Copies of this chain bind each other. A is one copy, B any other.
Amino acid sequence: MSKKVNIKTIAADLNVSPSTVSKALKDSHEISEETRKKIQAYAKYYNYKPNSLALSLRNQRTMTLGLIVPEIVHHFFSRVIYGVESVANEKDYNLMICLSKDNLEKEKQNIEMLTNGSVDGLLVSVAKETFEKGDFSHFEHLLEQGFPIVFFDRVPDNINTDKVVVDDVAGGYKATMHLIENGLKKIGILSTPPHVTVGNDRERGYRKALKENKINIEDSYTIHINEKEDISQQIAQLLKLPDRPKGLFAVNEKYAAIALQEAKKLDINIPEELSVIGFTDGYISKYTSPTLTTIAQHGYTMGAKAAEMLLNKLLNKTDNSLGQTYVISTNVVKREST
């Protein structure tokens, strides 16, 4: 069990001062070649590595970014993390990932933890509960202090800060247009309850597309899924309508996949009798049968962009760019279900 060395122990062992060791290790010209070589050899042999805590304390920066996501067991967020990690690593920044579990209290705890010196900046996607309760005080507090922070995907509406989002309205519009362009007119939507902004926005896009094409909006074609109850059954109801839709836009991948399953049970052929389009570039879509056409959300890009914005704030001290919003555009990924 070889002991852990640090600058002071090296200094003691070699009968020099800590300052000399520090300088020697950075190839300072102040140190004679002889001592320099000696110290470097010793450091290498004993595998000296500077303590990052001490460095952070001294330099007043940690070279790590904080990342708060509601969930990690979710393909989209995994992609985001991947994107963040890639650009952070390129600039020698590390990541500290925390889960809020869509819980306000946990989110506050995370914020507190991370902002007590552990990280230089923060990337956050806000918890559902935070939206429901409308309590953004923890973020406002941070912004007052000028703490660098960038929101992504689920962003607070009425806070003026940097954010990167996907254009959900346009996404819903594109999805619906895709169905319309395939000659469909009777188009249903599987959406979320109205307080979930992403679902709501996508639904707005859906309505916009229908209106523009002068298609009547049939109320019974809109289902607001209640996740507390049996999802399959709610979807089946739509499919059992006497005059059921020929096209179906699901605001997320899960609803789309379940719709596929239910259609199969009811012997509805896809895409001949029913076209289905989902949302999110997830895991599932590629492996359902038929494979699912979806709207790609570009999680990787979103993470990368958010990290880039944050790093810009950290590196260019010129804080002119206040309250920028970057919008990631979506696109249709055509597969077998339409």
A32, CB-defined interface residue at 8 Å: no
User: Interface size for chain A: under 10, 10 to 19, 20 to 34, or 35 or more residues?
Assistant: 35 or more
Interface residues of A in 282-308 (CB under 8 A from B): 282-284, 287-289, 291
Name the prevailing secondary structure of the A interface residues.
mixed
Chain B residues positioned under 8 Å from A287 (CB to CB): 254, 257-258, 260-261, 284, 287-288
Asked whether B52 lies within 8 Å of A141 as measured between CB atoms, the reply is: no
Closest residue on chain B to residue A141 by CB atoms: B47
Chain B residues positioned under 8 Å from A118 (CB to CB): 52-53, 94
- Also in contact, A51 and B117, with CB within 8 A (given A258-B287, A261-B289, A284-B287): yes
State the A residues within 8 Å of B (CB). Answer: 1-4, 47, 49-54, 56-57, 62, 64, 72-75, 78-79, 81-82, 85, 94-99, 112-113, 115-118, 141, 144-146, 254, 257-258, 260-261, 264, 282-284, 287-289, 291
What 20 additional pairs, Cβ within 8 angstroms, besides A49-B116, A53-B117, A254-B287?
A1-B144, A1-B146, A3-B145, A50-B116, A52-B118, A53-B53, A53-B57, A53-B62, A54-B57, A73-B82, A94-B118, A95-B97, A95-B98, A96-B97, A257-B287, A264-B289, A283-B283, A283-B284, A284-B284, A288-B288
